[in-house]
Amino acid sequence: MLILTFVSCDSTPKQASTGEQVDDSVITTKVKSQLAQDDFLKSLQISVETFKGDVQLSGSVDSQKAVDKAGEITRGVKGVKSVKNSLVVK
């Protein structure tokens, strides 16, 4: 029974373990908070998703400066392993 408990908490390439899911939600919350605190980005609709420390930013922004700034802020958040910046300039 104990072995089954440990096996069920392991992660797979497409599914995060319970601990990783908690870490990912903390990272997502921190990134969203940092983006919302930035005067330049706070009014923009930027979607943030995290999987195993890899963060994806998506949505539409009004300038390349916003794309770059969002990526820079995200990379500065503790726990972020990589950033896929899929923001599109409209």
The model carries a pTM of 0.78
Task: Tell me which H or E stretch contains 14.
Answer: none
- Angle at the Cα of 67 from the Cα atoms of 80 and 89, rounded to 5 degrees: 140
* Predicted local confidence at residue 2, as pLDDT: 45
Q: Please, which pLDDT band fits residue 13 given cuts at 50, 70 and 90? A: low
* Predicted local confidence at residue 16, as pLDDT: 63
Answer whether 30's CB lies under 8 Å from 37's CB. Answer: no
Q: Please, which pLDDT band fits residue 10 given cuts at 50, 70 and 90? A: low
* Predicted local confidence at residue 5, as pLDDT: 46
* Span 29-64, pLDDT tens digits: 999 999 999 999 989 999 999 999 999 999 999 999
Answer whether 35's CB lies under 8 Å from 70's CB. Answer: yes
